[in-house]
Amino acid sequence: MIVLRMCRPDDVDALVMLGHKAGPGLTTLKPDPVAQGARLERVQRTIAGELPLAEQGYLFVLEDTASGKVVGVCGIEVAVGLDQAFWTYRMDTFVHASRELGLWTRMDKLHMSHGLTGYSELCTLFLDPDFRVNGNGSLLSKARFMFIGQFRERFAERICAEMRGYFDENGESPFWKALGAHFYRIDFHEADRLVALGKKSFLAELMPRYPVYIDFLPQDARDCIGKVHKETEPARRLLEVEGLRLEQHVDIFEGGPVLEARIDDLRVMRDSGLCQVEIVAEAAADAPRQLVANGELADFRVILAAANVVDGVVHLTAEQARALQVKAGDRVRVMPQNPAK
């Protein structure tokens, strides 16, 4: 069975292997054992309540229980931008008009912004390509919302998700080439590496001081704004189903979309609920697929299960209950995999 669980300190090697498979552009999943070890320690200290708000974060892994192999990872940062600025480009539209000539133009601009300061952030989503089947991607992405629903008090009023931007067939970002490269004067991957190491001061020191008119950029760079990497398209659709949307912000390196939402407007806040566990011999043939999460913090677990819910009781098989580490009578959070049509 595939189960999402809270990360453990011994997941370092698994995260490094996933980092190698993820390739460039996923800043928070570099194949660096020191960095990943430090992040796993930060998660444990977050759970223990030992860290200030600015440093708190959670990381979850997707595990194949049959082999014990970690095949995916996802995370949540509690409050971004409090320690180091969380920079994005904010998109604004300006109208220039001449009453005398009877002419007007509408121009879109990009401004450097840290307007998402204090938001919680969905981050570090990656699934091993060999396991992108049977709803595993859906489980990996949506399980984070189950954690937020279960522990709502631990997060901010609003949440965002910075999506991996578009790269061409040569592995290069047209947006970076047209804009960022002129200001930062270093290779995209070097800039990405510095950010991953927490060395972000150069962003503020070298960033554009004035708005950038989008119409002044080459067409291939303009086409990148709000566009995701081809491997990120399914992840974007999953987040949009849960209630996030592109509003005004895009990534400063690749121009990828930053999706946003009020947490209380997310689907999990209206479509999930607590149910009591009842163990059954087998799932009903017509049972709908549900996300089911236990109520533990340090050992939080979620599965995607065919399970009926009747009068506040969820029917789980013994195997499903073992995966969640729950027993008959325990309370779990349940949400349909997909919203009602």
- 189: annotated active-site residue: no
Which position has the token pair 């549900």?
290
**Candidate list 20, 111, 229, 315, residue with the active-site label:** 229
Rounded distance between C-alpha atoms, residue 328 and residue 276, angstroms: 8
Q: Which residues, other chains included, contact 20 with Cβ-Cβ below 8 Å and sequence gap of 6+?
A: 31
Rounded distance between C-alpha atoms, residue 124 and residue 119, angstroms: 16
Q: Which residues, other chains included, contact 70 with Cβ-Cβ below 8 Å and sequence gap of 6+?
A: 11, 14, 15, 17, 18, 61, 62, 63
Q: Which residues, other chains included, contact 254 with Cβ-Cβ below 8 Å and sequence gap of 6+?
A: 25, 164, 165, 166, 167, 173, 175, 176, 224, 229
135 CB burial (10 A radius; 0-12, 13-18, 19+): middle
Largest CA distance in the chain: 80
Rounded distance between C-alpha atoms, residue 173 and residue 224, angstroms: 8
57-64 and 69-77: which strand pairing? antiparallel
Q: List residues with catalytic annotation.
A: 229
